Amino acid sequence: MTATDPARGALARGWCALSVLHGRIDAHLERALQEGHGLSVREFSLLDVLSRQHDGEGGHLRMSQVADAVVLSQSATTRLVTRMEDRGLLSRYLCPTDRRGIYTDVGDAGLKLLAEARPTHDAALREALNRAAGDPELAPLVRAVKSLHSAA
């Protein structure tokens, strides 16, 4: 593949379109969640990920797994968890079988905030996707995202 190969340009344009779509959605979600609930997109994501934990084998996530799930570095995830723990939304505890492992759980206040924020998040996501669907460069990506939803 050469530097002027059309396939290389198409790949870069596709990546750029994906980045633009993500940025638009993220910004729209951030505004809606901050205005409605005083919650950032990352905070919402963290509450959402942790709310899906369960008892039993593999039910709780270590901090490194949480970092991967919310797409943050481990240090940024630790800072985020600390801020949310200070707000009374989360708690941390040592893994009972490996004292080096730390788990995080959502408290009642965190679950309540998540339940209140979910409709705002979902409505803002639909709105952002519908707006992006009007852009010819983003429309195929929007269709792909929506098809993932229908497959699940």
Q: What is the mean pLDDT of each run of 10 residues along the chain (152 residues)?
A: 65 92 98 98 96 77 90 94 96 80 90 98 97 95 88 63
Each as own residue / partner, the long-range contacts of residues 81-90 (CB below 8 Å, 24 or more positions apart, any chain) are: 81/46, 84/43, 84/46, 84/47, 84/110, 89/47, 89/113, 90/46, 90/47, 90/50
Contacts of 91 (CB under 8 A, 6+ apart): 85, 104, 105, 107
Number of structural domains, the chain?
A: 1
Whether 58 is covered by a domain: the verdict is yes
Residue 1, domain member (yes or no) = no
In a domain, 11, yes or no: yes
* Within-domain flag for 15: yes
For residue 63, the model assigns a pLDDT of 86
Domain housing 105? 6-151
Q: Does 54 map to a domain?
A: yes
Q: Is residue 118 part of a domain?
A: yes
The CATH number of whichever domain residue 107 belongs to comes to 1.10.10.10
Has residue 92 been placed in a domain?
yes
Quote the pLDDT of residue 103.
85
With CA atoms as reference, report the closest residue to 117 among 52, 54, 30: 30
